[in-house]
Amino acid sequence: MWHDGRVTTDAPTPARSYAGMSAEDRVAERRARLLEAALELMGTKGASATTVRGVAEESGVAARYVYESFTSVEALHLAVFDAIAAESAERAIAALMAVPDHADDASRTARVRAVLAAMADLMLEDPRKGRVVLQEAVSSPVLGPRLLEESRRFAAMLAATASVGDPLAPSADLPAGLRLTAHFLIGGVAHAFAAVLEGDVDVDREELVDVLVELFLTVDARIVELAT
């Protein structure tokens, strides 16, 4: 077509490739490096010490590229938190679904152990992730509201699982007692993990899981009672 006396085309100009990577791939690669650098800083130095300059230095990515993927450093903090929360949910659901539910005590114990073991592995194998979601989020004005959202989501998953066996089923209309008990359990488990990460309690992974399973099942019996 003609435009200002020049012949133009409606076809977009293809993005140039560098080192075999498209523009989209380069953006994604930089974003991944920034997220990893932010996790390292948030998980070792704290969220307040995780700045644009610090993330740029840690990642080796120029500071201007931070704003290519994130509107602010706070948005980057949230992205790190959300990635850990998503991984937690994925691991919990996968662990739950991997154990058959025969609606008996042995099956319930096996499913509880599988989920708690998956969460312990996530928090303890990479303590940076545990610090971000269990410690930094508590005092951060940016991460705090998101932490409450995730606590509600996990409590809803627990209540729905106890009620209908499906962690993704709606839970808003379930009995109040059931939902409160689910919140109690989620909060208790989170604080127990935090105590271990902070060094307040010296315990190995197996003992941690054993104790949490025993406590969880004691309260879970009440959840089952409320759900029936």
DSSP code string of 156-176: HHHHHHHHHS-TTS--TTS-H
The pLDDT of residue 227 is 66
The pLDDT of residue 104 is 80
Residue 56, domain extent: 20-70
User: Same domain for 101 and 146?
Assistant: yes
Q: What is the pLDDT of residues 40-88, one digit of tens each?
A: 999 999 999 999 999 999 999 999 999 999 999 999 999 999 999 999 9
The pLDDT of residue 7 is 42
Sort 172 into a burial class: Cβ within 10 Å, 0-12 / 13-18 / 19+.
exposed
The pLDDT of residue 63 is 95
User: Same domain for 96 and 180?
Assistant: yes
Domain tally, the chain: 2
CATH label of the domain that carries residue 100 = 1.10.357
User: Same domain for 146 and 42?
Assistant: no
User: Same domain for 121 and 177?
Assistant: yes
User: Same domain for 128 and 171?
Assistant: yes
The pLDDT of residue 3 is 42
User: Same domain for 63 and 81?
Assistant: no
- Note the maximum CA span of the chain: 80
In the chain, which stretches have pLDDT less than 70?
Answer: 1-20, 224, 226-228
What SS3 class is residue 68?
helix
The pLDDT of residue 170 is 86
